[in-house]
Amino acid sequence: MDSLKLIWHRITNWEYWPFWMVYYPLFPVWLYYSFKARSLFFFNAANPAMKNGGMAMESKMEIYKMIPPQFIPKTVFIPKDQSPEKALERVLASDIGFPFIAKPDIGMKAFGVEKIHNKDEFRNYVSWSPSNFLVQELIPYRKEVGVFYVRKPDEEQGKITGVVSKEFLSVVGDGSSTLLELIKSNPRSHLQLKTLKRKFGVGLNKVIANGEEFILVPYGSHTRGAKFVDISHLINEGLVKTINGICGPMKDFHYGRLDVLYNTFEELCEGKNFSVIEINGAGGEATHIYDPEHSLFWAWREVTRHWGMMNEVSILNHQKGHSYLSFKDGRAMLKANGMLQAQLRVT
């Protein structure tokens, strides 16, 4: 695909637009909810047990500690000043073997998330990492969903407000085209070419066998090329029971998105063969909006709907004594988040 067609594809498909272009037009809506709560930073009360309500700058490790341990992967916290040798020793001692996943403890949009295959790659990751990070065992399931969950204070059971299926970025070989040619043939993968060149190097010259699916990015991040498909119509009592079984025991968790790897959807609804790889609080998007079949206006309605639920939960928790962020602390959080994002984007 030539550069002009690629540019046109980005312009005509809003899912590729910058974050600010999608969300800034909704700022008056945020002001409305802020007026109702009497605070611009009301989200802090949405999930009182999470730093900043889970909007930004929260530790993933602290959130994992909130989740019942049977639902999460083996995870090791690595301080930024720990040597590669000591860090690897701790990882292997925890019974996590290669390959495994490394990701920043405070992160966003899958920046800095990498699959580590050997000791050299791990040493490089430790040397690069600008902050504390986590190492997690590689979960064998190849399907991922994002499940958005909301539970009002004093409610025993929460509800699921949206489910997105995440299709990992991949190509299918034809027996004659190189990996590079296959990547360039699809705008979704072509838009990731700069990152993929850095990742695969000369491996891009490999010819992929006819009919073979080659996974380019082994996790469901929209910013890393995954296709998001809205499957909210599949919500059923079994899935709601499974998600409530995870979130119910979590202290003061009321609003956010669970990212879940699973074997089959039927087993997930039965509470079997799945792993929660992340939970995002107030900052978690209802990512089913990014289904290419949804219009921008539909997405705006859905974002507004979820902000309304977060606003209601925050106000109710505030009435119970949980605080909002001060304007000063809110500004400091946004500044720190911007600086961290700039550091992590280099990958």
Single residue among 183, 216, 249 that ends a domain in this structure: 216
Same domain, yes or no: 63 and 154: yes
Residue type, 99: P
Single residue among 182, 216, 250 that ends a domain in this structure: 216
Residue type, 326: S
Q: What is the mean pLDDT of the chain?
A: 95
What pLDDT score was predicted for residue 305?
98
What percent of the chain clears pLDDT 70, i.e. is strictly above it?
A: 99
Same domain, yes or no: 189 and 54: no
Single residue among 216, 247, 273 that ends a domain in this structure: 216
Same domain, yes or no: 86 and 185: no
Residue 12 lies in a domain: no
3 state SS for 106-118: CCCCCCCCEEECC
What pLDDT score was predicted for residue 346?
55
What pLDDT score was predicted for residue 200?
94
Residue 35 lies in a domain: no
Quick check: 113 and 102 in contact, CB under 8 A?
Answer: yes
Quick check: 224 pLDDT over 90? no
Q: Which of 122-126, 328-332, 336-340 is least confident?
A: 336-340
Same domain, yes or no: 74 and 187: no
pTM value is 0.94
Same domain, yes or no: 244 and 207: no
Same domain, yes or no: 50 and 151: yes
Residue type, 310: M
Same domain, yes or no: 46 and 94: yes
- The average pLDDT across 102-119 equals 89
Q: If we measure between CA atoms, which residue out of 342, 329, 285, 258 comes closest to residue 26?
A: 285
Same domain, yes or no: 231 and 198: no
- CATH (domain of 339): 3.30.470
Residue 234 lies in a domain: yes
pLDDT (tens digit, 9 = 90+) per residue, 114-158?
999 999 999 999 998 888 999 999 999 989 999 999 999 999 999
Residue 19 lies in a domain: no
Reading the block at residue 2, the tokens are 């030539």
Residue 109 lies in a domain: yes
Q: Look-up: residue for tokens 């910058």?
A: 18
The total of structural domains in the chain comes to 2
Same domain, yes or no: 69 and 183: no
Q: What angle do CA 140, 222, 34 make, to 5 degrees?
A: 120
Quick check: 106 and 131 in contact, CB under 8 A?
Answer: yes
Same domain, yes or no: 202 and 239: no
Beta bridge partners of 256: 149
Same domain, yes or no: 45 and 153: yes
Residue 284 DSSP label: -
What pLDDT score was predicted for residue 312?
98
| Parent domain of 181 | 170-216
Residue 56 lies in a domain: yes
Same domain, yes or no: 192 and 293: no
Q: If we measure between CA atoms, which residue out of 286, 243, 280 comes closest to residue 110?
A: 280
Residue 266 lies in a domain: yes
